[in-house]
């Protein structure tokens, strides 16, 4: 247990002893032990030792139970050690009298109003690696003892500290859970508040760092287990938090892995960590417990304003609790946020103002009403994500993928393999990762986001700051964190964005299971080789899954539609999860502009803009932000940027390889129309027969291998049974967002001319008929007329004949839009 560096405590002092006697004995304790009288009463009447001048910084004497308790603080540690040893010698010789110690465990009363019964109890609770006196001690003053009793509002109070074993560097430390510590504090407080008058007093807990979690847990356990604490009567309570990681304790998984991180950065010995089960999430109260109290304690939250070392250990966001926002105390770091050397410094004045307000509120019976809607954490066990978004409530069970994951883990029960989920943007990879996290009821789950090795370690260090609290000041490079990751699940989302992926993979511990997501098949193959990962492909939803998703989403909007309309929506949006989510947000937005209309009419109008020639309306839907800075178009932008080109160019200033633009006019995923065949045909044509914009591709796709690879890695291209396509959602984005009206006409014209020349040379109309039909469908959807294309007379006649020819239907391509490419009247 942590001992005080400069202070000692004396128990069992007789009630006749006065403060002057303690001051005199404090000085005499500094004498060398030889010649000390065995008589305790005589000792208290000794004259001060000459070497004690200026050595005593402060002291207190207050009634506690049937005796009195004193505290003495010396200027130097050697003075304290000398005094402590001499005090023990006196006790050994006298075999009675005050008992000295320097641990300050349990309750220590510092002050009790001498003139009347106290009206308020104040109890200070320290944090990890703290001491019940030193935690609150500045260079020369212990403000709870030396300043607080002199304040007018607290002259009629009783002030005490509670100490518990919180050392992590002592072999015998942390032999209790947080719940045990909280229970012990309640019982100690109950023993001290034994009379009816004492039990009616309000209590204010002043808490530093993890001490706030101890006190908060004590509150919820007291209210949930009244029978267990029947001898404890708390009355009305208040909690003043000084850099208590309230958000951290609710959002983090306080189990073995989190402590392993603390070990990595602060050198905590492994054999002690097994006992640190106090930080298990099942031992920490949650918001629901707090909200269930009829009169929850009033709360004030503060945090440090300066960094401790290179980090701010507890930030404003993590120090707040429920609706109580944390305020920064000026010129304080994580250690000095609870120490005040003068009673005029800004931080002390702010804290005193909060304490006075809390006291007045408690004495006026003005406990606040519990919040009506109190958010509870949906993830159980708690996922430590540091801001990573939570799983959606309307997550659609993708049973085929989840069963596959379950089977992989079941088949490898002893050592669960790492997994890599691969698929296009918006297909639901992140949701599946979060679903995996919620299924892990007995494991530690951490989300790690890092773009390179440096930011990876920064992220780990950031987590360690929140977890380690008081311990994060030092770094011990020889601590082994890998061995404690065995039961952990690490989640890395979008790993292809990492600059130093291979180095990051080397830094991650081999004993942990890692679940990753990527859009890149190449990265997926690398992960399978480097980390022996099992690959799971995440395609768009199955029809039944997509229908369930749109049903759940629209239920929240009060829009009711028929099963046929649901199926039509699913087909129009290509079963893409993100597009379906976007539609559910856009429909209520669209209703505002249509006026009073039925749900059925609303959905029909929306389907029209998706399926017909409403280009501008469709563009508005694609650009609509369902959340700040998140739309279908922006999701496409994030995909486009991954091919390594700056976004500068046509309508939205894109720069996109011409190959990808033309492929958008040559691919139809629904009809299994792949673009590779078209480029194979280009290699067979005479150069003079290839239209100008297509001549760079006359050597086929192999000459564009670099662009194709990047497109595959960014999920702009996908592979189905070894054949490449552009997903229809991205195809529409490419045509809408990267091509203006003239460019659309030019690409269609180039493709149709190529098909015409191939027909003229080979007389094989069927081979490219599907591309002709696809061009016709695109013209219908984008209101491009025959006259908009620079086709010669014989070429135009051939085109009309081709789109109505049985040959197109014989290869599975319908001509439902054959008349969609309208002639000018």
**Distances from the Cα of 487 to the Cαs of 404, 407, 511, 579, 754, in angstroms?**
20, 18, 8, 36, 59
Cα 726 to Cα 673: distance, rounded to the nearest angstrom: 10
Average pLDDT value for the chain? 76
What pLDDT is recorded for position 122?
97
Q: What is the CATH number that goes with domain 1-103?
A: 3.30.70.330
pTM of full prediction above 0.75: no
- Mean pLDDT, range 361-388, rounded to an integer: 43
Protein fold of 399-537? Rossmann fold (3.40.50)
- Mean pLDDT, range 616-621, rounded to an integer: 86
Identify the sign of the CA torsion 400, 437, 445, 311: positive
Q: What is the pLDDT of residues 197-238, one digit of tens each?
A: 888 899 999 999 889 988 998 998 888 888 788 788 887 899
- Which residues 6+ apart lie within 8 Å of 365 measured at CB? 236
**Lookup result for tokens 């430390």:** 173
- Mean pLDDT, range 733-750, rounded to an integer: 90
* Residue (of 143, 113, 167) closest to 4 by Cα position: 167
> Is pLDDT at 50 greater than 90 in this prediction?
no
What pLDDT is recorded for position 384?
41
Superfamily of chain region 105-250+278-363: Alpha/Beta hydrolase fold, catalytic domain (3.40.50.1820)
In this prediction, residue 480 has a pLDDT band, given cuts at 50, 70 and 90, of very low
* Residue (of 42, 36, 31, 107) closest to 69 by Cα position: 107
411: buried, middle or exposed (CB in 10 Å: 19+, 13-18, 0-12)?
Answer: exposed
Better-scored residue on pLDDT, 89 or 441: 89
Better-scored residue on pLDDT, 112 or 459: 112
């Amino acid at each position: 247990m942590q001992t005080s560096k400069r202070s000692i405590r004396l128990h069992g002092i007789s009630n006749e002893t006065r403060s002057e006697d303690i001051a005199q004995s404090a000085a005499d304790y500094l004498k060398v032990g030889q010649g000390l009288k065995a008589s305790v009463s005589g000792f208290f009447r000794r004259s001060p030792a000459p070497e004690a001048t200026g050595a005593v910084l402060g002291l207190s004497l207050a009634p506690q139970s049937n005796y009195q308790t004193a505290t003495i603080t010396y200027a130097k540690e050697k003075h304290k050690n000398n005094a402590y040893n001499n005090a023990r010698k006196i006790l050994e010789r006298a075999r009675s009298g005050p008992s000295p110690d320097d641990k300050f465990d349990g309750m220590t009363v510092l002050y009790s109003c001498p003139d009347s019964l106290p009206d308020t109890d104040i109890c200070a609770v320290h944090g990890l690696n703290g001491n019940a006196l030193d935690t609150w001690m500045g260079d020369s003053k212990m403000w709870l003892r030396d300043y607080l009793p002199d304040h007018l509002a607290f002259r009629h109070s009783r002030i005490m500290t509670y100490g518990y074993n919180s050392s992590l560097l002592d072999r015998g430390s942390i032999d209790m859970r947080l719940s045990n510590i909280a229970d012990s504090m309640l019982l100690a407080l109950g023993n001290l508040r034994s009379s009816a008058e004492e039990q009616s007093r309000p209590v204010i807990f002043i808490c530093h760092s993890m001490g706030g979690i101890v006190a908060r847990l004590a509150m919820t356990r007291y209210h949930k287990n009244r029978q267990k604490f029947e001898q404890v009567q708390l009355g009305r309570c208040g909690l003043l938090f000084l850099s208590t990681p309230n958000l951290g304790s609710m959002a983090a998984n306080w189990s073995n892995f989190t402590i392993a991180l603390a070990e990595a950065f602060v050198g905590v010995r492994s054999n002690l960590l097994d006992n640190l089960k106090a930080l298990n999430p099942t031992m920490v109260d949650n918001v629901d417990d707090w909200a269930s109290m009829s009169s929850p304690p009033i709360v004030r939250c503060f945090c440090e304003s300066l960094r401790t070392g290179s980090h701010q250990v507890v930030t404003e966001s993590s120090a707040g609790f429920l609706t109580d926002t944390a305020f920064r105390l000026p010129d304080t770091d994580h250690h000095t946020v609870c120490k005040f050397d003068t009673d005029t410094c800004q931080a002390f004045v702010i804290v005193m103002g909060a304490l006075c307000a809390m006291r007045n509120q408690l004495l006026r019976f003005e406990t606040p009403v519990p919040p009506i809607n109190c958010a509870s954490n949906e993830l159980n066990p708690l996922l430590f994500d540091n801001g990573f978004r939570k799983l959606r409530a309307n997550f659609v069970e993708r049973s085929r993928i989840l069963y596959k994951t379950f089977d992989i883990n079941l088949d490898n029960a002893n050592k669960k393999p790492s997994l890599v989920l691969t698929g296009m943007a918006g297909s639901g990879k992140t949701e599946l990762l979060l679903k995996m996290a919620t299924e892990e009821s007995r494991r530690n789950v951490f989300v790690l986001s890092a773009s390179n090795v440096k930011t990876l370690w920064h992220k780990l260090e950031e987590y360690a700051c929140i977890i380690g609290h008081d311990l994060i000041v030092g770094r011990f490079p020889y601590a082994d964190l890998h061995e404690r990751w065995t039961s952990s699940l690490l989640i890395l989302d979008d790993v292809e964005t990492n600059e130093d992926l291979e180095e990051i993979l080397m830094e991650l511990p081999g004993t942990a299971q890692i679940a990753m997501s990527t859009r890149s098949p190449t990265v997926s193959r690398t992960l399978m080789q480097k980390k022996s990962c099992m690959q799971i492909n995440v395609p768009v939803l199955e029809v039944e899954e997509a229908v369930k998703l749109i049903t759940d989403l629209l239920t929240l909007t009060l829009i009711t539609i028929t099963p046929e309309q649901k199926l039509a929506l699913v087909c129009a949006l290509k079963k893409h999860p993100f597009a379906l989510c976007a539609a559910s947000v856009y429909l209520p937005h669209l209703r505002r502009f249509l006026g009073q209309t039925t749900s059925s009419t609303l959905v029909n109008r929306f389907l029209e803009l998706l399926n017909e020639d409403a280009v501008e309306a469709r563009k508005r839907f694609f650009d609509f932000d369902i959340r700040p800075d998140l739309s279908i178009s922006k999701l496409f932008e994030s995909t486009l940027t991954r091919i390594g080109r700056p976004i500068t160019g046509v309508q939205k200033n894109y720069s996109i390889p011409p190959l990808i633009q033309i492929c958008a006019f040559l691919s139809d995923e629904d009809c299994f129309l792949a673009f590779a065949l078209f480029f194979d045909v280009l290699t067979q044509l005479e150069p003079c027969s290839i239209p100008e914009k297509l001549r760079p591709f006359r050597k086929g796709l192999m000459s564009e291998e670099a662009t194709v690879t990047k497109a595959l890695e960014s999920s702009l291209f996908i592979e189905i049974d070894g054949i490449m396509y552009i997903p229809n959602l991205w195809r529409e984005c490419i045509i809408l967002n990267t091509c203006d009206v003239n460019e659309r006409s030019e690409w269609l014209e180039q493709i149709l001319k190529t098909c015409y020349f191939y027909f003229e040379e080979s007389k094989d109309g069927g081979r490219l008929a599907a591309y002709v039909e696809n061009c016709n469908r695109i013209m219908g959807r984008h209101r491009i007329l025959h006259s908009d294309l620079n086709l010669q007379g014989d070429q135009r006649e051939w085109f009309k004949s081709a789109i109505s020819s049985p040959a197109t239907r014989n290869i599975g391509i319908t001509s439902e839009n054959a008349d969609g490419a309208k002639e000018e009247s």
